[in-house]
């Protein structure tokens, strides 16, 4: 069977053009083209949401109407999912790659075509996953941004997306939904300006119809609405940072030395003397490492860490 990868996903845009003009920061909307992604559209599970439910071994997330955000959701047995859908709840089918081999292959191909690093299956830095969203008419997702990069294929019905660049934080490592009570400390430290709570009138708007593909970069603001029932299939990729790559590869190297494997003992607790001793020990290790750093090669770190 023909391999489905990035080239077919973003056709007629070429991979080269995509890398030059979009990836990883600029969104891209690609109108439907006849016959494109036939290998996906012909899958039995893409014919109807009920087919996804029939093939489902694991739970389905149903979004609660209180907050119109997928993280305000409950986990349902597949048998109960249809009822929730008929009660106007968006269904989120995580891990679609585990219930269809073509989706699994496509996901892997896209990840490899994008050149995203995993660092091995354990603690996978990229966490490539495919998610199907079944959204009833009249529902939507409130304004938010994700820490992942997202490719969306509209399978059935239509969905309207409004998007805008994020002027408050570059390359966020956390998602954020407007109206959330609190923001994580990590995200707060990454923001250089207050976050917006609504989009401007002139925000980019695209109407996703069957066959359309949309690339939403990490951190890009977006909100969606549906006027009719909608089914879409997403390919989602965490965005391994240089900090992830450095700490993961360095950790692999450090763990080869008994002094770095030693228990980080006494750092927390009420015994001030033990705590000070622990801090001094860490200080000693860090200073020693700093002295070695000029000799350390990025390439060697990546090799030792199993990242290349
Ligand atoms: Fe999103």
CA distance 2 to 265: 55
What average pLDDT is seen over the chain? Answer: 94
246 C-alpha to center of ligand 1: Å?
27
Does residue 122 register a pLDDT over 90? no
Nearest CA-CA partner of 96 in 140, 135, 168, 40: 40
CA distance 242 to 261: 23
79 C-alpha to center of ligand 1: Å?
26
Q: pLDDT tens across 65-115, in order? A: 776 677 788 999 999 999 999 999 999 999 999 999 999 999 999 999 999
160 C-alpha to center of ligand 1: Å?
13
Tokens of 19: 């890398």
Rounded to two decimals, the pTM is 0.93
CA distance 234 to 1: 21
Q: pLDDT tens across 184-211, in order? A: 999 999 999 999 999 999 999 999 999 9
Mean pLDDT score, 134-157:
96
Q: pLDDT tens across 250-274, in order? A: 999 999 999 999 999 999 989 999 9
106 with 235: CB under 8 angstroms? yes
Mean pLDDT score, 39-44:
97
230 with 140: CB under 8 angstroms? no
Domains detected in the chain:
6-240 (2.60.120.650), 244-304 (no CATH)
86 C-alpha to center of ligand 1: Å?
23
Q: DSSP readout, 221-266?
A: EEEEE-SS-EEEEEEEEE---HHHHHHHHHHHHHTTSHHHHS--TT
């Amino acid at each position: 069977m023909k391999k489905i990868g990035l080239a077919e996903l973003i056709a007629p845009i070429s991979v080269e053009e995509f890398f030059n003009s979009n990836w990883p920061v600029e969104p891209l909307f690609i109108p439907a083209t006849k016959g494109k992604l036939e290998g996906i559209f012909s899958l039995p599970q893409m014919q109807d949401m009920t087919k996804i439910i029939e093939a489902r071994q694991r739970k389905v997330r149903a979004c609660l109407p209180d907050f119109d955000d997928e993280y305000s959701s409950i986990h349902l047995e597949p048998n109960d999912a249809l009822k929730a859908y008929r009660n106007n709840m968006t269904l989120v089918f995580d891990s679609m790659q585990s219930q269809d081999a073509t989706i699994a292959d496509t996901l892997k191909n896209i990840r490899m075509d994008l050149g995203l690093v995993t660092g091995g299956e354990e603690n996978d830095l990229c966490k490539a996953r495919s998610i199907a969203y079944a959204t009833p008419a009249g529902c939507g997702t409130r304004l938010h941004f994700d820490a992942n990069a997202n490719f969306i294929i509209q399978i059935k019905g239509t969905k309207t997306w409004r998007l805008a660049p994020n002027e408050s934080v570059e390359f966020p490592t956390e998602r954020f939904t407007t109206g959330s009570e609190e923001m994580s400390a990590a995200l707060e430290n990454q923001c250089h300006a207050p976050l917006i709570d609504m989009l401007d009138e002139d925000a980019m708007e695209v109407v996703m119809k069957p066959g359309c593909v949309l690339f939403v970069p990490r951190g890009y603001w977006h909100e969606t609405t549906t006027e009719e029932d909608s089914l879409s299939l997403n390919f989602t990729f965490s965005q391994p940072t240089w900090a992830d790559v450095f700490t993961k590869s360095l950790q692999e190297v450090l763990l080869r030395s008994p002094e770095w494997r030693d228990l980080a003992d006494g750092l927390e607790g009420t015994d001030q003397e033990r705590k000070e001793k622990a801090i001094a020990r860490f200080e000693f290790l860090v200073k020693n490492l700093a002295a070695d750093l000029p000799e350390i090669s990025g390439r060697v770190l990546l090799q030792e860490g199993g990242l290349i």
